[in-house]
Structure 1
Amino acid sequence: MPRLTLPARAAFVVLLTAGAALAQTAPASAGASSPIAADADPYVWLEKVDSPEAMSWVRAENQKSLAVLEADPRFPKFNEQALAIAQSNERIPFAHQIDGKLWNFWQDAQHVRGIWRATPPADYDAGGAPAWKTVLDLDKVAATEHANWVWQGAQCEAQHENMCLVSLSDGGEDAATVREFDLRKGRFASGGFVLPKSKQSAVWENPNSLVVAREWKPGELTASGYAYVVKRLRRGQPLSAATEIFRGQPSDVQVAVSTLDDAKGHHALLIQRGVTFFESETSLVTPAGIRKLALPRKATVVELFDGQLIVKLDEDWATGGAQFSQGMLVAVDLAQAIARPDALRATVVFAPTARQAVEQVSGTKTGLVVTTLDNVRGRATVFTRSKDGAWTPTPIALPDNTAVDISDTSMHTGTAYLTLAGFLQPQSQWRVDASAQAGQLRSLPAQFDASRDEVEQFEATSTDGTKIPYFVVHPKGMALDGSHPTILYAYGGFLVSRTPQYLGTMGKLWLENGGVYVLANIRGGGEFGPAWHEAGLKTKRQIIYDDFAAVAHDLVDRRITSTRHLGIMGGSNGGLLMGVEMTEHPDLWNAVDIQVPLLDMLRFEQIAAGASWVGEYGSVANPDERAFLAKISPYANLHRDVKYPKALVWTTTKDDRVGPQHARKFAARLSEYGIPYYYYEVIEGGHGAGANLKERAHTSAIEYTYFARQLMDQ
């Protein structure tokens, strides 16, 4: 299956889908007051997440907002439709190849928390409805243990694949409890490994030994709330007997562990010391001790194939007498890396053009599967390595104008599974064999009527002249009269690419009702490689907000919509984007959907895992960066004398990543200034829309009811 390396980095990038999911000069009044000083913040009490006072405020706010939104005559139908889509059995049962079977985690109306089940490969690859055998019923486990368990995945010992580490979260938090599960006996292992609740990463060193990064002593965490001490835990040992093998610094973002294995028996156990969110030091755990690799800090080891460490470069690298450019995928020989970690040599696997970017990398028994973007359109290629070390690409023939994702690979087989989707094309699953031949296994039926819609791609010109691509999903033959209710979505950060994805719930609740959807590929993302991201880092970030506003102006100039009918949507880092756009351009939108956001950029480092994102946003400890953060912080730049659109601000109590504090304080400030708004806080659910299908559907119904009221009614 595709590998992830630095958990804190991967975890933050939870992308709220559009179906769930700049600056021109700011108005003079928007900069009229100085930012709120952190020590004078009257709403710090709302940062105490579970305090009785804060929760009383939350319930009162929820009651006010739901009394309006749930009473809207459209809400019951929206909720029913969203829930039907969420609970539909017409979903692709994505699975992982483990121990000779295909394993799938499944949720539906009868299995709200979910079941883990298995089927033989021949049955799965037949493309129909496999005959599944349930091995773990999480609903039953939660009921027996009186716990609110949420599935966080399983990691299986690579060589034998009979024992797995199952991660379970309380209500959707990032912190998880890890338990050893015996696949062949179908139960949690008696006397097996158990790691109590923590933000942690744990990997198999061998069948009887784990390497774990976690909070070993109370408070032994980085300022970001993640582990920095790594220990070896042998079978039968209590946690107190684990042996320390690596120690980072409390000032690090995180220290995490991962393992990579290939079909030829090579094994790499990696320790990543996250010095900043985007910079890390990578070391190998070897029998002779820890070997720090002389890789650039902005580089990630993403796979092990044919004895080669596959490295994605996010910065230029000179090594072994050769020069490699950022964005490249390169290979480093594992044996050589162990022998001479300070003198690495590399070969190029793939070198993208200016309009391409590497997305995912995952190995099979016979080839290295790589997905890329080409002008924000998905591509997939299988690379093989000859005896002389040369890499040969074989493109996989797939439909165009879609997003392409690797859903699973295995070092034990030559089979890879890919997922394809477009804005109007439902998800389909493709099986790729050892010869790079692809065939469609299954496709979802349409969840909405897309026959009346089409997709176009345009470009807007940002303030520095850069062309910003964006997609528009709209009714065929749409009159260009500025009357169309339009939702504009973007993310704009953390090197995350936003690509065409099937709209599902949005299609049913929005497009079928005449709405238009726009996806903007603004800077800050990874659509065109590391440089596209780095253009908006820290004090350069205003260009990201300029890009978004430029797309909005282009939509209005093309008469696709007007400010009266234009709404915007974004979550997490995209929630910050929404807050900035609301405060910088209050007259450009009539609806702002702010999802699980960052909003107080003068205190973000002190809230939840905020300290880990200094590499993206900067720090208030740096005077120049603090001045910029004060200028753009939505919480600090709300003003009484400005007419803002009536925003929907929502979050979740259990979000231990961004935290609900930002949304709470922003809403409290809106209330203080007499600015109309809606506020909604899901009591469960982590950094997302809810802990289960019903909660997520309910949140979606609230959002589209809000958009209909703001963009269609007035």
Structure 2
Amino acid sequence: MNQLSRFKFLIAAVLVSGCTSSSLQKEQELMSMQSQDPYIWLEEVEGQKALDFAKSENEVTLKHFKNDPAFKGIESDYRKIFFAKDRTPAVSLTNGDLYNFWQDEKNSRGLWRKTSIESYKTANPKWEVILDLDQLAKSENENWVWKGASFRKPGYDRVLLHLSRGGKDAVVVREFDLKTKSFIKDGFQIPEAKTNAFWKDENTLFVGTDWGPGSLTDSGYARIVKTWKRGTPLSSAETLVEASKTDMSAYAYTQYDEGKPHHFYQVRKGFFSTKNWYLDPSGKSIQIPKPEDAETWGLFKGNLFIELRSDFRNFKSGTLLALPLDQISKGDSALDSLQVVFAPTDKRFIETACYTKNHLITVVSDNILTKMEKVTFTAPNTWKTESLALGENGMASCYDSDEESDLYLASYTDFLTPTSTFFGDASDTENRFTLLKESPRRFDSSTLTTSRYEATSADGTKIPYFVVHKKNMKMDGKNPTLQYGYGGFQHSMTPSYMSALGKVWSEKGGVYVLTNLRGGGEFGPNWHKAVLKENRYKVYEDNIAVSEDLIKRGITSPDHLAISGGSNGGLLVGATITLRPDLYKAAIIAVPLLDMLRYHKLLAGASWMDEYGNPDDPKMREAILKYSPYQKLSPNAKYPETLVLTSTKDDRVHPGHARKFVARMKEQKHPVYYYENIEGGHAGNANIEQSILWESLKTTYLWEKLK
């Protein structure tokens, strides 16, 4: 037994000696919580009583909707589209090859495979299967769900595979040889946890994981990042950085620039607050000078990109800046070397970027719709930008690139236009695109059109929204209408091809509304920051304003209007219907936050306090109680019949939120249906069959309530 083990043994002995009083204290705390919340037992994720509750509700819900005459037709439409033989495989670009993860009726867990660019252009690409996840799950008797792979550079000969049990965020990390298509014997392997693992070099990893008691933040993420060398036990890894328990997470990573590796680490203090360091070639840590709420992007031609989320010096929030890497050792003086790569306007903001060997392809949101631009750098400080022509009135985007060449992948879509994938070469002076694949049309869009409107929120702010509808729609208030929104974490709601929803909803006369509420990123960081913490209620006022505007225009009426949202969007729906139940006939709440007085104590909840505030702060508690759905439920209100869905395996947003909300609705005699997928994670579903059921339940419910 080494010294550390002896120390742990002694500490354990001390803890055991105080076990009785500690257990009594925990029991008293539990009794206190139960007196305040009689449904606290539903927070026990895998507790038998809680699972029995879920299974009992599932039985009622499935029986009801499967007996609906419309269910079989809706399910059939979803099945035909989700399992269509002509589905376009979504691909990523790595080292000149195209990779795809594919699920179908035969391969429910999926195949990880690759093909060449030339082969992908053909009607029937020749795929090389790298990993059969169904076969692996069967041989290992594990419920594996694919969570991705990270390549070892520069050789691209090995990957770190991320595999989840049942779809959870927590993963097992295992080293895999791409040449032999097998796991490396005695290779890197990290037990199940919410792990971040990155290659430092071919024989070293940066690892943030669960190292044992006290090694996680209050949010449940890695607090300690270590450097782990091949051939040594994980327990011997050397600590690189430690965050505090109240921070969100810590991680380290490697970025390549002009073929050379550069190492960084960061402590994420909150969702939009970080401190970053650069490890110079000698191994010295240098803190990167920047505002804490500014985000670092990638490296390009010796420059580190930094996006501002607040005004800084003479630069506006939303500006993308370049900081020469060779200047950062100067501390704050290095900020005199900042160069503007992109400057925002009131409606124009940068969303993301792809890095090629010699160019930067930026994706720019212009009044919510996106366009691409090519940026060329000439030392020491010239950034030339030119527009790239791809699509109109929709979403043109670069979504992957090869940093060792100038090749990149782009896509175009809108509500009524199937996604097309294009191949681009940034070295092409004429900026031409080659069409690789065009996804098939899944519904008749010839009778449909898209309109854009604005609603006025309670504080006078104009809230834009999209409406997809029949060209001959009558403004008589009788159109079945589905309003969807999110409104949080600077995540933009943008047009995308409606595919199956177009078939089961729009083609049959349903109106679809996509809202651009504050809290999202549609108009840059300030659009998000306007509704944080004590101003959170304004998001729900925005959502209500859109609903009222739809009714005022005659598009729909309370008897024909439904709202829907998931995760933070589930909170949006829960808050909206408890504030204004009179506006809606139906509501779909998926994988939601609903008990906002306890969200920070459940799973990853503490990481969202920058967004919602800390309920333990009396002032914030008062602000949260204005909208927290679980607390707002009243036996005296008349709520729309509600459909609530979640997943047992969701280890990000606790399923207890959904369970407790449903239990309280039932206690108060409100109409509600509940479905809990026993696996699936925060996505709700782990395979296509589960997605078909999930979506069929939602659509059957909508037509039942709104027709």
For normalisation by structure 1, the TM-score amounts to 0.92
Q: What's 2:21 paired with?
A: none
AA aligned opposite 2:660:
K
Aligned residue for 2:498, secondary structure, equals coil
User: 1:20-39 to 2 correspondence within 5 Å?
Assistant: none
Q: What's 2:85 paired with?
A: 89
Deviations 1:361-391 (A, max 9, x none): 1201121111111111111111110123211
Q: 306-315 vs 561-570, which deviates more?
A: 306-315
AA aligned opposite 2:41:
W
Q: What's 1:270 paired with?
A: 264
Query: Could you tell me how far 1:689 is from its partner in structure 2?
Result: 2.7
- Partner Cα separation in structure 2 for residue 357 and residue 143 of structure 1: 47
- Partner Cα separation in structure 2 for residue 332 and residue 129 of structure 1: 45
Question: Which of 262, 270, 279 matches 1:285?
Answer: 279
Q: What's 1:368 paired with?
A: 360
Q: What's 1:179 paired with?
A: 174
Q: What's 1:330 paired with?
A: 321
Query: Could you tell me how far 1:413 is from its partner in structure 2?
Result: 1.6
Q: 687-696 vs 179-188, which deviates more?
A: 179-188
Q: 221-230 vs 324-333, which deviates more?
A: 324-333
Query: Could you tell me how far 1:303 is from its partner in structure 2?
Result: 1.3
Q: Unpaired segments of 5 or more residues in structure 2?
A: 1-31
Query: Are the counterparts in 2 of residues 639 and 673 from structure 1 also a CA contact under 8 Å?
Result: yes
- Say whether 1:630 aligns with 2:622: no
Q: What's 1:428 paired with?
A: 420
- Partner Cα separation in structure 1 for residue 464 and residue 664 of structure 2: 35
Deviations 1:515-537 (A, max 9, x none): 00000101000000000001100
- Partner Cα separation in structure 2 for residue 190 and residue 81 of structure 1: 45
- Partner Cα separation in structure 2 for residue 89 and residue 246 of structure 1: 49
Q: What's 1:348 paired with?
A: 340
Q: What's 1:15 paired with?
A: none
Query: Are the counterparts in 1 of residues 318 and 343 from structure 2 also a CA contact under 8 Å?
Result: yes
Q: What's 2:45 paired with?
A: 49
Query: Could you tell me how far 1:258 is from its partner in structure 2?
Result: 2.8
Q: What's 1:614 paired with?
A: 609
RMSD: 1.5
Aligned residue for 1:518, secondary structure, equals strand
User: 1:250-649 to 2 correspondence within 5 Å?
Assistant: 250-262=245-257, 264-286=258-280, 287-318=282-313, 323-338=314-329, 340=331, 343-344=334-335, 345-434=337-426, 435=428, 436-649=431-644
Q: Evaluate the alpha carbon distance shift between residue 627 and residue 648 of structure 1 in structure 2; reply closer, same or farther with a 3 A threshold.
A: same
- Partner Cα separation in structure 1 for residue 96 and residue 199 of structure 2: 19
Q: 400-409 vs 462-471, which deviates more?
A: 400-409
- Partner Cα separation in structure 2 for residue 664 and residue 140 of structure 1: 34
Aligned residue for 2:465, secondary structure, equals strand
Query: Could you tell me how far 1:267 is from its partner in structure 2?
Result: 2.6
Q: Evaluate the alpha carbon distance shift between residue 285 and residue 59 of structure 1 in structure 2; reply closer, same or farther with a 3 A threshold.
A: same
- Partner Cα separation in structure 1 for residue 96 and residue 521 of structure 2: 35
Query: Could you tell me how far 1:665 is from its partner in structure 2?
Result: 0.1
Query: Are the counterparts in 1 of residues 93 and 408 from structure 2 also a CA contact under 8 Å?
Result: no
Q: What's 2:114 paired with?
A: 118
Aligned residue for 1:184, secondary structure, equals coil
AA aligned opposite 1:595:
A
Q: What's 2:26 paired with?
A: none
- Partner Cα separation in structure 2 for residue 339 and residue 191 of structure 1: 43
- Structure with the higher fraction of residues in helix conformation: 2
Aligned residue for 2:75, secondary structure, equals helix
Query: Could you tell me how far 1:117 is from its partner in structure 2?
Result: 1.1
Q: What's 2:74 paired with?
A: 78
Query: Could you tell me how far 1:84 is from its partner in structure 2?
Result: 2.2
For normalisation by structure 2, the TM-score amounts to 0.93
Query: Are the counterparts in 2 of residues 292 and 341 from structure 1 also a CA contact under 8 Å?
Result: no
Q: Evaluate the alpha carbon distance shift between residue 468 and residue 711 of structure 1 in structure 2; reply closer, same or farther with a 3 A threshold.
A: same
Identity %: 41
Aligned residue for 2:244, secondary structure, equals coil
Query: Are the counterparts in 2 of residues 396 and 438 from structure 1 also a CA contact under 8 Å?
Result: no
Query: Could you tell me how far 1:219 is from its partner in structure 2?
Result: 4.2
Q: What's 1:62 paired with?
A: 58
- Partner Cα separation in structure 2 for residue 338 and residue 62 of structure 1: 59
Query: Are the counterparts in 1 of residues 649 and 682 from structure 2 also a CA contact under 8 Å?
Result: yes
- Partner Cα separation in structure 2 for residue 422 and residue 38 of structure 1: 49
Query: Could you tell me how far 1:256 is from its partner in structure 2?
Result: 2.2
- Partner Cα separation in structure 1 for residue 694 and residue 574 of structure 2: 19
Query: Could you tell me how far 1:97 is from its partner in structure 2?
Result: 2.7
- Partner Cα separation in structure 2 for residue 617 and residue 572 of structure 1: 14
Question: Which of 689, 695, 700 matches 1:694?
Answer: 689
AA aligned opposite 1:317:
F
Query: Could you tell me how far 1:240 is from its partner in structure 2?
Result: 0.8
Query: Are the counterparts in 1 of residues 593 and 653 from structure 2 also a CA contact under 8 Å?
Result: yes
User: 1:171-210 to 2 correspondence within 5 Å?
Assistant: 171-210=166-205
Q: 108-117 vs 607-616, which deviates more?
A: 108-117
- Partner Cα separation in structure 2 for residue 188 and residue 300 of structure 1: 35
AA aligned opposite 1:324:
F
